[in-house]
Structure 1
Amino acid sequence: MTEQQQKTLEVGQKAFSYLSHGLKTGEWEEFLNMLTDDFTFWFPMGKYHGLNIGKPKAKEFLEYVSESFVGGLSISSVERVTSSDTTVVFEFLDEGKLQGESYKNRVAASFDIRGDKICGYREYFGSDGKSN
């Protein structure tokens, strides 16, 4: 692993830990502080489907996530981490209560890294969360 890949992986792991904390507690400040001003994110469904631009939009989205998962969303296991010079992808299982109903899913979350900040995020999901 090159020095750049190691730095990117470290920044991605820090961001993922802040994301995990936010999902569980609704406290997003540390994660939001890691975002660049021109941060973009892509979400696969609902009100935030497609490309979203800017930290204010990210903050709005994260508050929406916290409202949807009352009681928090827990990451039950990280299945794989893949990284390059500029991107880190986490594949994980999560679970909680989505609007009062039991929820489990398998998720891939991709962080684009610039320096020590996150400049982009893409999320993909859509299974029952069972490990294969």
Structure 2
Amino acid sequence: MVPDSEHTLKIAQQAFVHFQHGLATTQWQGFLDMLTEDFTFWFPIGKFQGWNQGQERAKEFFQYVSAAFNQGIQLTSLDRITSNQTTVVFEFKDEGLLLGQPYKNRVAVFFEVRGDKICTYREYFGSDGKS
């Protein structure tokens, strides 16, 4: 059976709402509830650089993000959504305080969908400080 691109987009958008809520409030449970048991994620830098696997590792990662951005991160613009039958990419800008210092970023997050869950997450960013 070929995945339905409309279903994939719907699930990814639902996950992105939970993801955005997690960024803003540091409350990630809604997003974590949407992850498959064998969830994998890729992050470009730091303690979680490279591929990571499992829901527990994801929980550790989002706790790490919450500690760094303990006042939350606000999405300032959603610039583009690109999707196919299995993957949806959200490109956005966000800002907040990173360890107490002003922070602005351009981000692309990829959600790979399997059924009604997110099975893979990848994040890429370039923090140039420009809007």
Fold match (TM-score > 0.5) = yes
> CA offset at residue 77 of structure 1?
0.6
Q: Secondary structure at the match of 2:4?
A: helix
- Is 1:93–1:129's contact at 8 Å kept on the other side of the alignment? no
Partner residue of 2:55?
Answer: 55
Partner residue of 2:114?
Answer: 114
Partner residue of 1:86?
Answer: 86
Q: Does 1:24 align with 2:21?
A: no
Give, in whole Å, the separation in 1 of the partners of 2:129 and 2:5. Answer: 29
Q: Which amino acid aligns with 1:94?
A: D
Q: Secondary structure at the match of 1:71?
A: coil
> CA offset at residue 127 of structure 1?
3.3
Q: How many equivalent residue pairs?
A: 129
Give, in whole Å, the separation in 2 of the partners of 1:4 and 1:129. Answer: 38
Give, in whole Å, the separation in 2 of the partners of 1:56 and 1:129. Answer: 32
Note the residue ranges of structure 2 that are not aligned, 5 or more in a row. Answer: none
Q: Secondary structure at the match of 2:130?
A: coil
Partner residue of 1:101?
Answer: 101
- Is 1:104–1:129's contact at 8 Å kept on the other side of the alignment? yes
Q: CA deviation digits over 1:97-126, x for unaligned, max 9?
A: 000000000000000000110000000001
Q: Secondary structure at the match of 1:85?
A: coil
Q: TM-score, normalised by structure 2?
A: 0.95
Give, in whole Å, the separation in 1 of the partners of 2:12 and 2:117. Answer: 9
> CA offset at residue 70 of structure 1?
1.5
Q: Which runs of 4+ in 1 moved over 3 A?
A: none
Q: Which amino acid aligns with 1:9?
A: L
Q: CA RMSD in A?
A: 1.1
Give, in whole Å, the separation in 1 of the partners of 2:46 and 2:4. Answer: 36
Q: TM-score, normalised by structure 1?
A: 0.95
Q: CA deviation digits over 1:77-112, x for unaligned, max 9?
A: 100000000000000001000000000000000000
Q: Which amino acid aligns with 1:32?
A: L
